[in-house]
């Protein structure tokens, strides 16, 4: 509890209290938080701050007056120190200098993709036994609960972009397991535009605004995708009725990439992960957009819905499912299971339930738990492995690399990113290191430190050779079968809406005959009826351009945004 020590006669005597706490505090540090009383009864109010296990500072917004960043009390936070009331500011005005300098640096670079997002916390609970497939601790027994944090996001737009745009959505989960952090970083759509990470920078540039005027005309998307026939499957999702999730609570999730599961005997299965909302799925159609935009002029429709629901104790939940394939059988399939532009047919590879994710707590600080939250598909745990998926392989490199640039090399020490299990490593130092590492031995091996044993877990030792070094595409591309089948699964009204949106994209100003010709070739190979309908529509004269309202927003030939 706060205590009064004194009496003290002037604010400058707070420094006496500072000396007092320095001399008396041994196991904690007492910090001045205010002055109470008047005249000879004036005293200094302070409280004892006991550092947490990580040594993090504890801040409070309930103190009697402000302090500097280093805890020194401030008499006046609203006026500069000057020579007279109208004179110039003095250089020694450290408290305002610190205030301004902190403000100048308080933002970190936004994510290059997935910039706008919403975060919530909760737990994952195992509901079904899959220990025969994986020895991962997170799946070790039915009923086991693991703390998690989830970030949902809009993929291509900037941090202020509306959440009702036609755009993929991110669905990333960090599991704080007893064997370290596992990040399952995916999207709402189960496939992707490309199958090789070498093409991702170009994809991101094409979907983002022009470097000339920062607008997002449809021709940029149409142009790039016309050179990527493998993107047609993704297009059947993005321009379909499921292209705009109504909110985050009613949205599916998918790993997109293929991973591997390893059991205690060393057996390996390829695996994909899927999240299915218990609340059901909801999407926005064309006519819904105006109403949602008017209700949320700041574009926060999905973030607001998630926060409000959790605040009202209406906790959203999802069930985790997996699909698995024996690697030895993968070569006999009509498609490559490592291809992220493909889904695994459920009739061949049934979905198997694993557990339940529940979100029951909102984030307490947007910057600390959203902006500084860092995911990477490279963060896996024993019992879960990677695959040779070319898109995944580059994601393993890119995510941690961008976090080191965006947040700093010690981003893993931040509370939201730090593991909840013991950490034993010789890696240390660097900017803003708060790990409080001790001991003289910062290398391995050494006679002066314990000799850690090799982790007693089986690893994937499957052979990948001999092989030649090549730069080429995979053998089994088949870019159109699954895309065409998906279009044919739509009813006639849904097909008509898809055709209208796609025709609008291809009717965008500056879309050339060459671009349209490539698209028509792909559509013909997907479904002849689809190609015929789009050809009839695109043949009409193009309308004048109108301003694009956001990244990856498809516009019709009349310039109206297609939702």
Residues annotated in the binding site, as ranges?
399
The span from the CA of 128 to the CA of 144, in Å, is: 10
CA-based nearest residue to 340, from 276, 254, 262: 254
The span from the CA of 43 to the CA of 9, in Å, is: 8
Contact criterion met (CB below 8 Å) for 7 and 44: no
The span from the CA of 208 to the CA of 111, in Å, is: 13
The token pair that represents 48 in the structure block: 């004892």
The beta-carbon contacts of 425-434 under 8 Å, at least 24 apart in sequence, are: 432/408, 434/54, 434/55, 434/56, 434/410
Q: For residue 170, give every residue at least 6 positions away whose Cβ sits within 8 Å of its Cβ, in sequence order, or none.
A: 114, 117, 151, 152, 153, 154, 155, 185, 186, 187, 188
DSSP assignment of 470-518: -----S----SHHHHHHHHHS-HHHHHHHHHHHHHHHTSTT--HHHHHH
The span from the CA of 269 to the CA of 259, in Å, is: 9
The span from the CA of 321 to the CA of 308, in Å, is: 27
Expressed in angstroms, the distance from the first to the final Cα of the chain is 57
Contact criterion met (CB below 8 Å) for 272 and 466: no
| The one catalytic residue among 181, 187, 188, 257 | 187
The span from the CA of 357 to the CA of 253, in Å, is: 12
78 included as an active-site residue: no
The span from the CA of 113 to the CA of 167, in Å, is: 11
DSSP assignment of 170-192: EEEEEEEEBTEEEEEEEESSSS-
CA-based nearest residue to 296, from 252, 251, 253, 247: 247
Residues at the annotated binding site for heme?
399
The span from the CA of 152 to the CA of 173, in Å, is: 9
Kindly list the distances between the CA atom of residue 390 and the CA atoms of 197, 204, 336, in Å, as whole numbers in the listed order: 6, 17, 12
> What residues are labeled active site?
114, 187
């Amino acid at each position: 509890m706060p205590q009064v020590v004194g009496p003290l006669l002037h604010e400058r005597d707070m420094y006496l209290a500072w000396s007092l706490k320095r001399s008396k505090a041994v196991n904690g540090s007492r910090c001045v938080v205010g002055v109470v009383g008047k005249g000879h009864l004036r005293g200094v109010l302070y409280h004892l701050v006991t550092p947490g296990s990580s040594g993090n500072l504890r801040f409070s917004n309930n103190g009697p007056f402000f302090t500097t960043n280093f805890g020194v009390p401030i008499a006046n936070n609203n006026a500069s120190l000057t020579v007279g009331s109208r004179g110039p500011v003095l250089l020694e005005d450290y408290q305002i200098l610190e205030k301004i300098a902190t403000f100048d640096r308080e933002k970190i670079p936004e994510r290059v993709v997935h910039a706008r997002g919403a975060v919530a916390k909760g737990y994952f609970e195992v509901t079904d036994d899959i220990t025969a497939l994986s020895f991962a601790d997170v799946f070790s027994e039915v009923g086991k609960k693991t703390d998690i944090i989830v970030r949902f996001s809009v993929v291509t737009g900037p941090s202020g972009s509306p959440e009702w745009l036609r755009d993929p959505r991110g669905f990333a989960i960090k599991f704080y397991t007893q064997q370290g952090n596992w990040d399952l970083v995916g999207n709402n759509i189960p496939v992707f535009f490309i199958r090789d990470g070498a093409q991702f920078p170009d994809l991101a540039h094409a979907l983002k605004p022009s470097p000339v005027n920062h607008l997002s005309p449809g021709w940029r998307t149409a142009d790039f995708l016309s050179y990527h026939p493998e993107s047609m499957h993704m297009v059947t999702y993005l321009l379909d009725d499921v292209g705009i999730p109504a909110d985050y609570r009613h949205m599916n999730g998918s790993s997109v990439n293929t991973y591997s599961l390893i059991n205690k005997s060393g057996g390996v299965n390829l695996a994909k992960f899927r999240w299915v909302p218990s609340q059901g799925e909801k999407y926005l159609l064309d006519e819904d957009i105006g109403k949602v935009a008017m209700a949320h002029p700041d574009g926060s429709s999905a973030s607001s819905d998630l926060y409000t629901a959790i605040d009202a104790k209406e906790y959203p939940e999802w069930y985790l499912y997996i699909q698995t394939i024996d690697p030895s059988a993968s070569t006999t399939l009509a498609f490559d299971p490592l291809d992220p532009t493909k889904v695994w047919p459920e009739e061949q590879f049934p979905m198997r339930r694993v557990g339940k994710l529940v979100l029951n707590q909102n984030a307490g600080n947007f910057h600390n738990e959203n902006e500084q939250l860092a995911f990477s598909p490279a963060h896996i745990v024993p019992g879960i492995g990677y695959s040779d998926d070319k898109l995944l392989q580059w994601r393993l490199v890119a995510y941690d690399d961008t976090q080191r640039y965006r947040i700093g090399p010690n981003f893993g020490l931040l509370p939201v990113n730090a593991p909840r299990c013991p950490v034993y490593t010789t890696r240390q130092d660097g900017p803003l290191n708060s790990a409080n590492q001790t001991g003289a031995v910062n290398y391995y091996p050494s006679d002066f430190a314990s000799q850690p044993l090799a982790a007693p877990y089986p690893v994937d030792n499957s052979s990948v050779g001999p092989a030649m070094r090549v730069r080429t595409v995979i053998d089994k591309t088949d870019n159109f079968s699954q895309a065409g089948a998906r279009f044919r699964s739509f009813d006639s009204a849904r097909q008509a809406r898809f055709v209208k949106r796609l025709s609008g994209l291809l009717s965008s100003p500056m879309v050339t005959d060459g671009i349209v010709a490539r698209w028509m070739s792909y559509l013909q190979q997907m479904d002849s009826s689809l190609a015929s309908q789009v050809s009839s529509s695109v043949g009409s004269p193009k309308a004048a351009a109108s301003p694009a309202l956001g990244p990856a927003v498809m516009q019709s030939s009349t310039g109206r945004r297609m939702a």
